[in-house]
Amino acid sequence: IRSSAELWQEAPHALGGESANDIISEAERIEQWIRELLTYSQLPDYRKEAIDARPLIAQCVAGLERESKRRHVGIALALPAELPPIQANAALLTQVLNNVLCNALEAMPAEGGDIAIRAHSTPGSRQVDIDISDTGAGIAPGDIAKICQPFFTTKAKGLGVGLTLVRRIVKRFGGQVRIASTEGQGTVVTLVFPAAPR
């Protein structure tokens, strides 16, 4: 379905380009739901390795470039060269980043907004923090405590397992997820990972 819509979208003078965009967007959403359900119902591979988070973050952002442009959302990166590698798994870290970034995109108002991704490590702390902040709708105070519970969602089209998976994966690698939000102003999701042994 998505391939046909992309061909339709790229055809010269094609009618219904907006419909093609909608088809692609919905196909991607269904694909994400299936991936989340499969991961949620299976025991993922939690083998740990030393991961340089910077290229993975850049890859995730590049994968969302078309969607972010469509939504008029700018994404800024602050990834210091001296960032230590983290103890994680590349495939699962990619899934975590994609889930959080997709949530940030979906939280944006119609006129767009901004997402900032900042990675940092305090000397001597042996941990790496990845902050993903957005200028979206924010989360109601009463929903903050429930936002990572399975099948709880504030989205009309949400499934409610994305942040549950994020927290499960990060915790299995010895990290934690912190969420701070102001309704109407935006949200900051901080992913805390242990630094890889030297």
pLDDT band for 152, please (50, 70, 90 cuts): very low
Q: Is the dihedral of CA 147, 153, 156, 161 positive or negative?
A: positive
Q: Give the bridge partners for 38, in sequence order.
A: none
pLDDT of residue 181: 87
Mean pLDDT of 57-75: 92
Q: 90-93 contacts: CB < 8 A, separation 24 or more?
A: 90/49, 90/51, 90/56, 91/45, 92/44, 92/45, 92/46, 92/169, 92/173, 93/51, 93/53, 93/56, 93/169
| Amino acid present at 133 | S
pLDDT band for 58, please (50, 70, 90 cuts): very high
User: Is residue 130 within 8 Å of residue 57, measured between CB atoms?
Assistant: yes
DSSP assignment letter at 125: S
**Strands 113-120 and 73-78, bridge-based pairing:** parallel
Mean pLDDT of 58-74: 91
Mean pLDDT over the full length of the chain:
82
At 191, is the secondary structure helix, strand, or coil?
strand
In this model, does residue 70 exceed pLDDT 50? Answer: yes
For the stretch 80-110, pLDDT in tens is 998 999 999 888 898 899 889 988 998 898 8
In this model, does residue 192 exceed pLDDT 90? Answer: yes
Instruction: Please state, in angstroms and rounded to a whole number, the distance separating the CA atoms of residues 35 and 135.
Output: 27
Instruction: Please state, in angstroms and rounded to a whole number, the distance separating the CA atoms of residues 198 and 196.
Output: 6
- Percentage of the chain with pLDDT > 70? 78
Helix (H) or strand (E) holding 10: helix 2-10
pLDDT of residue 68: 92
pLDDT band for 10, please (50, 70, 90 cuts): confident
Q: Determine how many CB atoms are found less than 10 A away from the CB of residue 92.
A: 23
DSSP assignment letter at 123: T
User: Is residue 115 within 8 Å of residue 104, measured between CB atoms?
Assistant: yes
Structure tokens at 158: 């949400």
For the stretch 25-53, pLDDT in tens is 778 777 777 776 666 556 556 688 999 99
Look up the pTM and report it. Answer: 0.74
